[in-house]
């Protein structure tokens, strides 16, 4: 996956918690980029046909013995480079500067003063601006050829530049929203300094993806895992445009769906999307495999394997099928440590990435593998998909299995479906559905004492979760109106047998994840 015109930027990842945000800001400037591990091979980077590099921040200090080093190809390329925080210090040390620990660490907001407004990095920006700092080291001496471009009270070298070689460094983080003009700084770098054009658009992505799928599949046949969400639907439409009737879509009901999901999908696929879909009821085999399983990673692994086996069985009925198309997204890859398994922590295994079995009869077709959710939605709108599909809340592939903490049973599924239906209904009734990223119920393994009809009860506790987000990589809990939460709670305890208490999750991501398992 590369930019169709070669206008791309590589973000070299040194482990910053903000690395994915750098990628987002570049793509918001309509320039394609990818997050590349700091120890990736030169060949892996060359496939991007990059016009510049951005070096991310990171938790290490450049003078530590085992600190990540600057890849040789970065400076040898002669292309523009922008180092951020650790990336700036690494660039300085590599080129002959001096980096040392500072007695006055900077964390949080700081006031930046631009010392050289003639630099293209700060073109058309105000002299003074708020920036976000997060560092305990600083540059004590600039490398030869560099000059100071900006400063703060505690950082006399808050930005540096060698205009002739187009090498720059920022001590602060332009990618976070707290830095007032951070997006403009990144845009200046990728457009004016790297010379990238605004070629990363939904239409260009569609054209490139269709061509890539044709080249990958050749004369082969594809089976597409269709769930009804925007990711799998966009995937199916792209593959259909590429190979026509050599695509077969399969909807597998694993018994872990929301209330009314199967009926909704039947009404959606054929008349609205023109997709011919095979419906497979595999609920018994999934629930049988999940019996007695409580570990969330094991649940995901089992579900991922069973999905593949179900698709293999259907493929055998359809004739020789060589490829499986699925709606894998960039956050799935990142959270499953698929971007850099050498240094990234595995948060959870996504059933369609790390949860796939090691042996299967298909090669994968994943046209959305490097897209964030909001980018997929833009592509969906460009393809003409109905808004009800494009803006539907994300629903995990493992379904309600990861919203039941503990063992998945028929009884618990019935309880959770009823509670979850109420949550969504009340969010929609309050006209808040488009304001939140996801809203759902979680069935906890906890039972609590209650009083209903003058009788003592000892029933389940249901947790309600609603978050706001741009792409699912980070999220804040949604401050739903008290009256909405009251209606949700009242309806659940009165309408759902087996529940006598409702709690609201007010934890952001991080430190939690959006899903509970």
In the set 38, 135, 173, 191, the catalytic residue is 173
> DSSP letter at 122?
G
Helix or strand run (H / E) with residue 477: strand 476-477
Helix (H, G, I), strand (E, B) or coil at 152: coil
In the set 175, 305, 375, 459, the catalytic residue is 175
Question: How many angstroms separate the CA atoms of 30 and 45, rounded?
Answer: 20
* Nearest partner of 333 among 324, 344, 319, judged by Cα: 344
Helix (H, G, I), strand (E, B) or coil at 190: helix
Task: Answer for the pair 372, 330: CB distance below 8 angstroms, yes or no.
Answer: yes
* Nearest partner of 125 among 149, 155, 160, 91, judged by Cα: 149
Buried b vs exposed e over 395-415: b needs ≥16 C-beta within 10 Å? bbbbbbbbbbbeebeeebbeb
Backbone angles phi, psi at 471, to 5 degrees: -145, 5
Task: Answer for the pair 329, 231: CB distance below 8 angstroms, yes or no.
Answer: yes
Question: How many angstroms separate the CA atoms of 198 and 30, rounded?
Answer: 5
Residue holding tokens 């595995």? 346
Helix (H, G, I), strand (E, B) or coil at 278: strand
Residue 175 annotated to the active site: yes
Phi-psi region of 233 (alpha: psi -120 to 50; beta: other; left: phi over 0): alpha
Q: Is the dihedral of CA 505, 510, 513, 514 positive or negative?
A: positive
In the set 85, 194, 196, 224, the catalytic residue is 85
CA angle 338, 342, 345 (to 5 degrees): 65
Packing angle, helices 283-290 and 296-318, rounded to 10: 150
Q: Is the dihedral of CA 386, 387, 393, 394 positive or negative?
A: positive
Residue 388 annotated to the active site: no
Residue 314 annotated to the active site: no
Catalytic positions, written as ranges: 85, 173, 175
């Amino acid at each position: 996956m590369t930019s169709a015109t070669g206008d791309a930027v590589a973000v070299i990842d040194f482990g910053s918690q903000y690395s994915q945000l750098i990628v987002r800001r570049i793509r918001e400037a309509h320039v394609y980029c990818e997050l590349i591990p700091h120890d990736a091979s030169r060949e892996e980077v060359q496939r991007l046909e990059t016009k510049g590099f951005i070096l991310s921040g990171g938790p290490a200090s450049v003078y530590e013995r085992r600190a990540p080093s600057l890849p040789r190809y970065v400076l040898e390329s002669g292309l523009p480079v922008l180092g951020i925080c650790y990336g700036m210090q690494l660039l300085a040390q590599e080129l002959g500067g001096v980096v040392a620990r500072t007695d006055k660490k900077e964390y949080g907001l700081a006031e930046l003063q631009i010392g050289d407004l003639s630099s293209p990095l700060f073109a058309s920006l105000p002299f003074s601006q708020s920036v976000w700092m997060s560092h305990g080291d600083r540059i004590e001496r600039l490398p030869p050829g560099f000059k100071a471009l900006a400063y703060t009270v505690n950082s006399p070298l808050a930005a540096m530049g060698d205009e002739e070689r187009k090498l720059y460094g920022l001590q602060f983080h332009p990618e976070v929203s707290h830095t007032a003009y951070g997006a403009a700084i990144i845009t200046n770098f990728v457009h004016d300094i790297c010379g990238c054009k605004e070629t990363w658009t939904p239409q260009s992505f569609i054209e490139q993806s269709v061509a890539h799928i044709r080249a990958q599949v050749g004369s082969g046949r594809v089976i597409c895992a269709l769930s009804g969400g925007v990711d799998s639907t966009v995937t199916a439409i792209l593959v259909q445009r590429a190979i026509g009737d050599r695509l077969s879509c399969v909807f597998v009901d694993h018994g872990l769906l929301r209330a009314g999901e199967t009926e909704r999908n039947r009404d959606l696929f054929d008349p609205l999307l023109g997709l011919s879909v095979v419906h497979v009821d595999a609920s018994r085999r999934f629930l049988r495999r999940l019996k007695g399983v409580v570990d969330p990673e094991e649940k995901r692994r089992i579900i991922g394997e069973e999905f593949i086996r179900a698709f293999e069985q259907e493929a055998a009925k359809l004739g020789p099928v060589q490829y499986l198309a699925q709606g894998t997204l960039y956050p799935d890859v990142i959270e499953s440590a698929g971007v850099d398994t050498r240094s990234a922590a595995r948060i959870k295994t996504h059933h369609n990435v790390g949860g796939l079995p090691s042996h299967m009869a298909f090669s994968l077709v994943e046209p959305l593998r490097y897209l964030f959710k909001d980018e997929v939605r833009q592509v969906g709108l460009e393809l003409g998909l109905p808004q009800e599909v494009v803006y539907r809340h994300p629903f995990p592939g493992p379904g309600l299995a990861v919203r039941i903490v503990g063992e998945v049973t028929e009884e618990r599924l019935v309880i959770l479906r009823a509670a979850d239906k109420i949550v969504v209904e009340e969010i929609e009734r309050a006209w808040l559905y488009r304001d939140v990223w996801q809203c759902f119920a979680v069935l906890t393994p906890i039972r609590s004492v209650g009083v209903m009809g003058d009788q003592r009860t000892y029933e389940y506790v249901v947790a309600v979760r609603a978050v706001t987000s741009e792409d699912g990589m980070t999220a804040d809990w949604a401050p739903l109106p008290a009256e909405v939460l009251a209606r949700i709670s009242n309806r659940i305890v009165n309408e759902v047998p087996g529940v006598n208490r409702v709690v609201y999750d007010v934890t952001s991501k991080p430190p939690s994840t959006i899903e509970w398992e």
